[in-house]
Structure 1
Amino acid sequence: MSKRWPTSRDRAEREILPLNLSLYHAARDYPGGGKAIAAVYGVPATTLQHRLNPNADTHKLTVDDLEYVLEATRDPRILDSLLSLVPGAHWFEYQEATNDSSEQQLMESVAEMSSRVSDLLSRISEHRKDGVYTSGEVSELKKLKGQLISALQGLLVSAQRFDGESSHG
């Protein structure tokens, strides 16, 4: 039985991609694709699509293109790619307080972090079976580590909110 080679879509879901590929996948997955993003920001659709094409050597992405795609899609793969360039940097998307009680938010944050710990440990265990880590496996583990750190940050914010309410209430 042969092992199936991962498609670019598989890699986009599991690994931290280079910035040009994360922008390409984010735009491709956006409703209407690159054309819709171009329409929102009033830029030529063909130009943006050529710049997003990872196989087009003659067209290069600009900082404005990065801004358009990130703002329109809010795709976490782009932030993963950007912050992978800075060792030890991780991002966390702050969620405003909702109508849920802080205790409920705290419990959901604990559950999220526990799930991320479980995901990371399961993948480490699976990858260690053959005693060799491939570059794809290392990239996947780095992504899972970043998601765990983000979940931990979410837990800390929830705990601070809960402490603030319980000490004042």
Structure 2
Amino acid sequence: MKTIFFQLLLLIISFNTVAQSSRSKEWNNYLVKVEKAKIEKEKNRKVDRKSNAVTIEDIAECDLPNVTPPKFPNCDSEKNLSHKECFTASVQKFIKSKFFFPDFAIDNKIQGKVVLEFEIDEAGKLEIISADGPQNGLILEEAVIQMFSKFPILTPAYQCGQPIRISHKIPITFIVD
């Protein structure tokens, strides 16, 4: 009886060791992926991207009365909100509806803020410029990019009656309880 108990105990310990080894290998592979992504980001930053995009903050300070931010389809029916307020509220609603926290990040307690920089082009399509997250937060950055890949096409921003490209930054926070 003692022999069976001892063999069972050894079997449990060996399975636990294999599981820990597998988890450690998965984590190490993830860290390698993070380092490669950092190197790629640094290369992309060195290619000095000059954008002619207007920021949403510039619109509020613009001297021209006929500058409007990009517009979600539902913003036509939101009579009590300005275009800018409706845009902001619609982006927040979009984030809430598409938000997901990757299991790998939860399991490994990866959390923090990801700042997404994007532009809405003259056709109303979203173009992601960058997603910068916490150290070892590549999986969170990828989650935000995946989330915003489902962003709807909007009515573009207009200035002086012409569609313009506009940039925006949004912080998205992931917290593991």
**Shorter-chain TM band:** under 0.3
Which of the pair is proportionally richer in strand? Answer: 2
TM-score normalised by length of structure 2:
0.21
TM-score (norm. length: structure 1): 0.21
